A = this chain, B = another copy of it.
């Protein structure tokens, strides 16, 4: 992506050129920006779906988990479905809705950034092309699926 010209420039930018309400990222942050929500979604991606499993895995207070799950269901990222295993009584599964699944690329981007900058050891997660086995990376691509290098990306506000 085109790096902003070296700052300190003569005229610093005093205010973001995009209002918070008009910025998808700011809206997303309102929903996802807290200590637990992204971790809950991470669990959902791994397939952990039951209240007590989430609680035990994350070591999150029950009350907070309850609140967050309600918020995520309310926002349409998770769906709460009753189900029954064998002759067990009815249980509930919190699963990603299509909207939640669509967060996959964001979480992968975050994961790859974390691996590059925060993680010391190697990552146990492998993202590969099923056909060729090649390792995959997050990138910006043209509509026909060709990656564009950062220097060639133009970022504009209209």
Contacts and interface: CB of A to CB of B under 8 A. Distances in A.
Q: How many copies does the complex hold?
A: 2
A1 B145 CA distance: 15
A49 B127 contact: no
Given A17-B46, A126-B156, 18 more contacts: A13-B53, A22-B121, A23-B111, A24-B114, A25-B114, A29-B42, A33-B36, A76-B117, A102-B117, A103-B113, A108-B109, A127-B140, A129-B153, A130-B154, A134-B143, A136-B140, A136-B141, A137-B140
A57 B15 contact: yes
Contacts of A25: 38, 42, 107, 110-111, 114
Residues of A in contact with B, size category: 35 or more
Nearest to A6: B95
Contacts of A139: 105, 138-141, 145, 147
A155 B2 CA distance: 31
